[in-house]
Amino acid sequence: MDMVELGLKYVMNTYKRLPKVFVKGEGSYVWDSEGNKYLDFVAGIAVNSLGHCPKVVSDALKEQSEKLIHCSNLYWIEPQIKLAKVLVDNSCCDKAFFCNSGTEANEAAIKLARKWGNGRYEIISMEQSFHGRTMGALTATGQEKYRKAFTPLPEGFKYVPFNDLAALADAITEKTCAVMLETIQGEGGVNVPSVEYLQGVEALCRKNNVLLIIDEVQTGLGRTGKAFGYQNFGLSPDIITLAKALGGGVPIGAMLAKDEVAEAFVPGDHAATFGGNPLATAAGLAATSVLLNPEFLEAVVKKGQYFQEKLSQLQKEYHQITKVKGMGLMIGCDVAVDAQPIVEKCLENGVLINAVGNSVLRFVPPLTVSEEEIDQVIEVLAKVIG
């Protein structure tokens, strides 16, 4: 039996997978089990921000794995403390809690907001948002298709249209403890809101003494050309959630909060056995030492502009592309045709991209990508679409 057949037999059927098995990665490239090479503009869905097997991360993993792989949070963990300091020093928050994924970070944020709310429990999130698959984060996700098979869901969640301030103003009640949103919706279609909208959201939160939770799981740590997506919009969130790029490919999540909010949690309120484990936080320290570097971030902005310009040129040539959107290296293209066949033809031509919904192509390459690699993807897209 080949690997795909074995997978179909033994692995639970929760993903729509393309029939490729990747066995090696280096920089912006991955190789499948038949030795074919692909330019990877999926990057583990915005995880491999430093490319595949970045030396800085694999060196840190090697070193830490020979010192201490795991240690309980019953004790202090050195790389966890250091990573908390890095994240606090680079954000508007004061304290960090570590977990293992994006959904877990959002779960922590929901619990913290409710504890802080002291009786106020309602959380307002956005239509088309995506916050994860565990029950709280799933309920906060503003897409019914993900929620509908899993009722009854926890109470106290409401959805309003993204980029619609009046709808949010109407939805806030005396029971609301937090508004939760992505600065740029990823799974919802790479939707970039206006600066005025996001600043208006924050103003509404302040006016009503409601927390602003920004889900930076996809936008965080350089993806948009800033350390955090919210920094493009002049915001100061009370809670930030992170995962994806934070570990340079190693699973890790984090929730950051301002002191006046973080202090609502006391020992016993929340925990994660693996959260902030020495190996994961050593990887996080190594990854952030590059991802948060101002020159690195400037290069992300330039490469993002370059990529968007090239896609806009393609749009002029091919009517199938109807819109180019995004920020930094989180880029989407609306297409007037079914997106998935384009994804599959790109794969046949040695390029990995993915589709969000039926009509948006998403590009989240490693932030270390070169302009030449961007050119190669543009060439393949032209061939596939044309």
Active site residues: 130, 215, 244
Is residue 230 involved in binding ligand PLP (CB under 6 A)? no
Is residue 143 involved in binding ligand PLP (CB under 6 A)? no
Q: How far is the CB of 365 from ligand PLP (least distance, A)?
A: 16
- Helices and strands counted in the chain (H then E): 14, 15
Closest to ligand PLP by CB, 243 vs 381, is: 243
The strand pairing partners of 326, in sequence order, are: 331
Is residue 193 involved in binding ligand PLP (CB under 6 A)? no
Q: How far is the CB of 305 from ligand PLP (least distance, A)?
A: 23
Q: Which residue is nearest to ligand PLP (CB)?
A: 102
CB 362, CB 41: distance < 8 Å: no
Is residue 237 involved in binding ligand PLP (CB under 6 A)? no
The strand pairing partners of 96, in sequence order, are: 256
Selection from 131, 122, 127 nearest residue 144 by Cα: 127
Among 84, 184, 217, 297, binds ligand PLP (CB under 6 A): 217
Closest to ligand PLP by CB, 28 vs 141, is: 141
Among 215, 238, 334, 373, binds ligand PLP (CB under 6 A): 215
Q: Hey, is 248 helix, strand or coil? A: coil
CB 124, CB 168: distance < 8 Å: yes
Compute, in degrees rounded to 10, the torsion defined by CA atoms 100, 101, 106, 110. Answer: -30
Closest to ligand PLP by CB, 246 vs 347, is: 246
Candidates 2-10, 155-163, 168-176, 182-190; binding stretch for ligand PLP (CB under 6 A): 182-190
Candidates 215-223, 264-272, 311-319, 351-359; binding stretch for ligand PLP (CB under 6 A): 215-223
Question: Cα(137)–Cα(149) distance, rounded to whole angstroms?
Answer: 15
Burial class (CB in 10 A: 0-12, 13-18, 19+), 298: exposed
Is residue 328 involved in binding ligand PLP (CB under 6 A)? no
Is residue 187 involved in binding ligand PLP (CB under 6 A)? yes
Token pair recorded at residue 366: 């490693």
Closest to ligand PLP by CB, 314 vs 367, is: 367
- 60 Cβ neighbours under 8 A, 6+ residues apart: 282, 283, 285, 286
Candidates 7-15, 181-189, 331-339, 378-386; binding stretch for ligand PLP (CB under 6 A): 181-189
Q: Hey, is 234 helix, strand or coil? A: coil
Closest to ligand PLP by CB, 120 vs 244, is: 244
- How far from each other are the two terminal CA atoms of the chain, in whole angstroms? 38
Selection from 331, 324, 354, 323 nearest residue 341 by Cα: 354
Closest to ligand PLP by CB, 270 vs 345, is: 270
Which letter does DSSP use for residue 365 in this model?
-
Is residue 186 involved in binding ligand PLP (CB under 6 A)? yes
Is residue 332 involved in binding ligand PLP (CB under 6 A)? no
Question: Cα(204)–Cα(161) distance, rounded to whole angstroms?
Answer: 15
Is residue 243 involved in binding ligand PLP (CB under 6 A)? yes
Task: Report angle CA 309, 314, 317 to the nearest 5 degrees.
Answer: 135
Judged by CB under 6 A, the number of residues near ligand PLP is 15
The contact pattern for ligand PLP, residues 96-125, with x = CB under 6 A and - = no contact, is: -----xxx--x-------------------
CB 2, CB 343: distance < 8 Å: no
The contact pattern for ligand PLP, residues 274-303, with x = CB under 6 A and - = no contact, is: ------------------------------
Q: How far is the CB of 137 from ligand PLP (least distance, A)?
A: 7
Burial class (CB in 10 A: 0-12, 13-18, 19+), 75: exposed
Among 107, 182, 202, 238, binds ligand PLP (CB under 6 A): 182
Is residue 334 involved in binding ligand PLP (CB under 6 A)? no
- What is Dmax (Cα atoms) for the chain? 62
Amino acid at 50: L
Sites of contact with ligand PLP (CB under 6 A): 45, 101-103, 106, 130-132, 182, 186-187, 215, 217-218, 243
